[in-house]
Chain A
Amino acid sequence: QLQLQESGPGLVKPSETLSLTCTVSGGSISSSSYYWGWIRQPPGKGLEWIGSIYYSGSTYYNPSLKSRVTISVDTSKNQFSLKLSSVTAADTAVYYCARSDISHYGMDVWGQGTTVTVSS
């Protein structure tokens, strides 16, 4: 059974870079059938798609975050990562990683989520 697990610092200072990793277990990140994505949810608010990556390294970003986001993949470790630069309090959120089927883009497997707070 495929599982995703987010990891990274829970507290980031304003203007610094948020870095998170999603570890995939029970399956291969190198499957040609899936995208691997990041989604966030600020406290009390809705879901926001941040971006996705294919195992080949092709990336897709939310236009509103594109200038600050980098998503990368490490197939040798079965992991993909998120970097969000120049963070502010508005980036405080629960960050989820998820798998999307490329045939229909539904996100069928999610990590449990990790809370990141931006504060000095």
Chain B
Amino acid sequence: DAKTTQPPSMDCAEGRAANLPCNHSTISGNEYVYWYRQIHSQGPQYIIHGLKNNETNEMASLIITEDRKSSTLILPHATLRDTAVYYCIVRVAGAAGNKLTFGGGTRVLVKP
């Protein structure tokens, strides 16, 4: 699976949009971009994934650049409960045995 690069940490203000970048310059054509987050002392939570089109669900939006070498996860209105480590992972979809390789992630602190 392609490696990803994320900033180690970022702060954002409660109620504002949080934009989390991820670089994946070596992504292959059949690899999807997945985002998970892990709140302290809990298991990771799936947020969203996409291949090349922008995606939106009730939690977040995923913006993937046209060349697919980077993406941005957008939390539209950050709350204190969004404080967590956010992981950007690329993997081939469609095969249950395909592993998720977790990097360091971005530690997001939402401040009042």
Are A and B subunits of one complex?
no
